[in-house]
């Protein structure tokens, strides 16, 4: 089905299909475009490793809405405690002053990631598109990058 006149490709809201858009090409090609975009961003090797890992971890599985909400709620709680946990580890090593500025960055990134999680959790229905957008959220990725950096830096304290 072609795009209706005056409704360009990216204007179709696939999370709220209507009678005139539910079979639009955007619904069928959008996922592939996102995967291609991701592949171009992270490179072939990392992309195919990610795809194999994702498949290995999730083959034959699925989750219901309540399981998804529970998982996302646990993520929110875990992210909330990151700064305190790292402050404790770093403080025990006597290096608090060295890390103080970056722990503020972690706190800021964690707050943004939690806001993204909470907006998803407060929706009546959690669509696959909403989950996909959360998965590629720069806010969640910033927290992961912060954790990778801190993990490497803290290794030197032990």
Of 137, 141, 150, 156, give the one whose Cα is nearest residue 82.
Answer: 150
DSSP state of 158: -
DSSP notation for 12-65:
--TTS--TTTTT-HHHHHHHHHHHHHHHHHH-HHHHHHHHHHHHHHHTT----H
User: How many Å apart are CA 81 and CA 41, to the nearest integer?
Assistant: 30
Could you report the per-residue pLDDT of 49-78, keeping only the tens digit for each?
888 887 887 788 777 778 888 888 988 998
* pTM for this predicted structure: 0.59
Do residues 6 and 23 touch, judged by C-beta distance below 8 A? no
């Amino acid at each position: 089905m072609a795009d209706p006149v005056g409704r360009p490709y990216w204007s179709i809201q696939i999370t709220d299909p209507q009678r005139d858009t539910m079979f639009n090409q955007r619904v069928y090609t959008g996922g592939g475009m996102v995967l291609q975009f991701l592949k171009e961003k992270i490179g072939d090797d990392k992309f195919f490793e990610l795809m194999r890992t994702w498949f290995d971890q999730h083959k034959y599985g699925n989750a219901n809405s309540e399981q998804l909400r529970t998982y996302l709620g646990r993520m929110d709680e875990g992210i909330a405690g990151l700064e305190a946990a790292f402050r404790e580890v770093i403080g025990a090593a006597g290096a608090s002053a060295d890390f103080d500025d970056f722990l503020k960055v972690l706190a800021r990134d964690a707050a943004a990631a939690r806001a993204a999680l909470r907006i998803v959790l407060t929706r009546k229905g959690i669509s696959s598109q909403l989950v996909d957008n959360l998965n590629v959220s720069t806010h969640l990725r910033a927290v992961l990058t912060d954790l990778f950096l801190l993990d490497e830096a803290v290794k030197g304290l032990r």
